[in-house]
A and B are shown apart, each in its own frame.
Chain A
Amino acid sequence: MSKTIIDKLWDRHIVVEEENKPDLLYIDLHLIHEVTSPQAFAGLREKNRTVRRPDLCFATMDHNIPTVDRFNIKDETSRLQVQTLEKNCEEFGIQLEGLNSEQQGIVHVIGPELGLTLPGKTIVCGDSHTSTHGAFGALSFGIGTSEVEHVLATQTLWQNKPKQMNVKIEGELGFGVTAKDVILWFIAKYGTNVGTGYIIEFSGSTVRNFSMEERMTLCNMSIEAGAKASVVSPDEVTFSYISGKRYAPKNQEFLESCKRWSELASDENARFDQRIEIDASEIEPMVTWGTTPSMCLPISGMIPAEENSSSIEEKQSLRNALHYMGFRGHEQIEDISVQHVFIGSCTNSRLSDLIQASKVVEGRKVHPEVRAIVVPGSQTVKKEAEILGLHQIFLDAGFEWRESGCSMCLGMNDDIVPEGERCASTSNRNFAGRQGKGARTHLVSPIMAAAAALKGKFTDVRSILPKTEQEVDHYAGV
């Protein structure tokens, strides 16, 4: 029988399969961070339980930590949470890449770059953006703290198999259009709950032509479409990314793994519960204007007004969003000025994101009324960027160059946007209060964020980007 990659990943991890019961799935990699784990470890201790497979767990600290003067965590509760993770990892024998590690970084950035994230694995983490790792052809999803405890104790999870959706993206992306715009466009068109109850497989020529970092951006935000998880079938792009990574298989073992991983791709005629087809050429650089990721328009767009809404329900949610965001309706996206720019987060803080943004910024200056920060996703990304001299390009332009962490994506550290001010952010959620109480978040791609930093307002990055043939290719993500 033809199988999808999702069927194959699922079937290979079933430990117990009984009627009228969820399947008990084995978990190959458990990523851990400081915010959603302390209560899980406490639960183990309370019941006198151990961690079944500490060798399959891997921890880092990312949510709470400062991005300047990083060893000096001023907030007492943040410090306690970080120290608690250190203590827990020591007590239970779990590898921790802490603040003093050269491998520290956002958990969804370092998993892939260390070669822990591999095709065919089941990967969980107490963080919704665990969807990111699906880019490698892994079955990867976010869990709550009770499930974190369950995985620590048993290395398994009871799961009902979700429905399956194929999202096929075909064609070439336009100049200045990125993977971030693709996922924002998808959510704008199909809504924040189109994926609820589903695992999505992203396929099609556009996805095939994406680099691994672009695939990660795409899968990262599938949770914003409500999906349980998303996957991309592994291919040569995947294998070449993995090759040589610290914990990835090496030599003969790597070649054998690649052969097995190649078999994961969905079979022809495999059955999906739903199929969506997207023409990549329709997509433009996108900007969110409201308080959910689906409230999103092309840069040329105009914000809707209450009178445009078709139902009372829609009118109410529109009214709330417009009020929170400080709009009346009918504003042009290109007229919105921003006071903050954040380039970072598990969505867009990898080396290629920083390279692309730096090309927009190079030789130019940040608008005098904008505070702009770059927060590399990991210490490794930071180091590699510095070798390329990117930090100097950003610093010369007036950006701040920070240490790695989740930072302004959710403002659990000091990196928050003040009430009433606007931020062009490369992160993944524009919920009310996400970047600070009363903060107004606009989600964009790294190059659109860079363009907004220069102009002090949203601007079509295509009018700034150099248009040499080589660079056109680069920005199209080929």
Chain B
Amino acid sequence: MPGFKTHSGSAAVLDRNHVDTDQIIPKQFLKKIDKAGYGEYLFFDWRYHSDGTENKDFELNSKETKEATILVTGKNFGCGSSREHAPWALKDYGFQVIIAESFADIFFNNCVKNGILPIRLSKGEIQNLQSENSETLIRTLRVDLEKQLVESETGEVFHFEFDPYWKKMLLNGWDEISVTLQQEALIKKYEDERIVN
């Protein structure tokens, strides 16, 4: 996986709380056995009407937000199922950064493992990122993982917290299993010495 250092792009604003993984990718699309091609099913029931036509009212369906590579949203994003198909869909669609007031735990981990940067900012900070011109689009945001900063188009800068270990993993794009396998001797030792249960 390539490392994540900085990213600049436009952001789509999905001003909703508690967006669950059933909304991010509905269950009928969980039947594949590979990781590719989930982007077309992202937010499927919001993006499309029952007859398959596009829902023009959905925030991500405007011409401008379709180009967005950053998603800005509310509280408890990604709650519900553990399906990693959710970050696979977000990434395949083109999102590389998600900024939210808070994330569900499993979803947060799933993002990091797929090279998507999940950033927690306060409600006030998120509001300050948004311009007065559009409720659904932020033209440019700049994200720097090394410095843990988000810079708005007006030059305002916000700091975000990030776990140092996962930061290093993301920055370097390291394969986590390879890293863990370096601890093989300790895993073996644990297995040999432990009392079962």
Contact = CB atoms under 8 A, between A and B. Distances in A.
Partners in one complex: yes
**Size class of A's contact patch?**
35 or more
Nearest to A143: B82
A42 B17 contact: no
B63 interface: no
Interface string B143-179: 0000000000000000000011110000000011100
Interface in A35-53: 35-36, 38-39, 42, 47, 49, 52
Interface stretch (B4-12, B53-61, B100-108): B100-108
A260 B197 contact: yes
A332 interface: no
Interface stretch (A13-21, A265-273, A386-394, A450-458): A13-21
A431 B197 contact: no
A433 B22 contact: yes
Contacts of B140: none
A15 B177 contact: no
Interface string B97-131: 00000101110011001100000000000000000
A144 B110 CA distance: 6
Nearest to A77: B31
A192 B20 CA distance: 11
Contacts of A150: 176-177, 180
B105 A155 contact: no
Contacts, number: 175
A119 B30 CA distance: 32
Contact of A411 (B18, B27, B105): B27
A329 interface: no
B99 to A, nearest CB: 17
Contact of A433 (B34, B45, B110, B177): B45
B64 interface: no
Given A15-B186, A146-B113, A150-B176, A196 B31 contact: no
A127 to B, nearest CB: 6
Contacts of B176: 146, 150, 158
B39 to A, nearest CB: 16
Contacts of A127: 81-82
Contacts of A350: none
A81 B186 contact: no
B150 to A, nearest CB: 21
Contacts of B83: 35-36, 144
A39 B22 contact: no
Contact of A128 (B30, B33, B81, B164): B81
A135 to B, nearest CB: 16
Contacts of B163: 22, 160
Interface in A294-323: 313, 316-317, 320
Contact of A144 (B16, B33, B109, B191): B109
A417 to B, nearest CB: 13
Contacts of B87: 144
B22 A431 contact: yes
Which has the most chain B C-beta neighbours within 10 Å: A153, A433, A438? A433
Contacts of B45: 432-433, 437
Interface string A384-425: 000000000000000000000000001110000001000000
A459 interface: no
A81 B85 CA distance: 14
Contact of B114 (A52, A146, A197, A412): A146
A440 interface: no
Interface string B1-43: 0000000000000011110101100111011111100000000
Contact of A154 (B27, B28, B110, B187): B187
18 contacts: A35-B83, A36-B82, A39-B33, A39-B35, A81-B33, A128-B80, A143-B106, A145-B110, A150-B180, A158-B180, A160-B163, A257-B197, A317-B17, A317-B18, A410-B81, A433-B23, A433-B26, A433-B45
Interface of B: 15-18, 20, 22-23, 26-28, 30-35, 45, 50, 74-76, 79-84, 87, 102, 104-106, 109-110, 113-114, 163-166, 175-177, 180-181, 183, 186-187, 190-191, 194-195, 197
The 9 closest A-B pairs by CB, nearest first: A146-B113, A38-B33, A77-B31, A144-B110, A144-B84, A145-B84, A142-B82, A431-B22, A128-B82
Given A21-B165, A75-B31, A292-B18, 15 more contacts: A21-B164, A26-B191, A81-B32, A81-B33, A130-B82, A143-B109, A145-B84, A154-B177, A154-B187, A155-B187, A197-B105, A257-B197, A432-B22, A433-B26, A437-B45
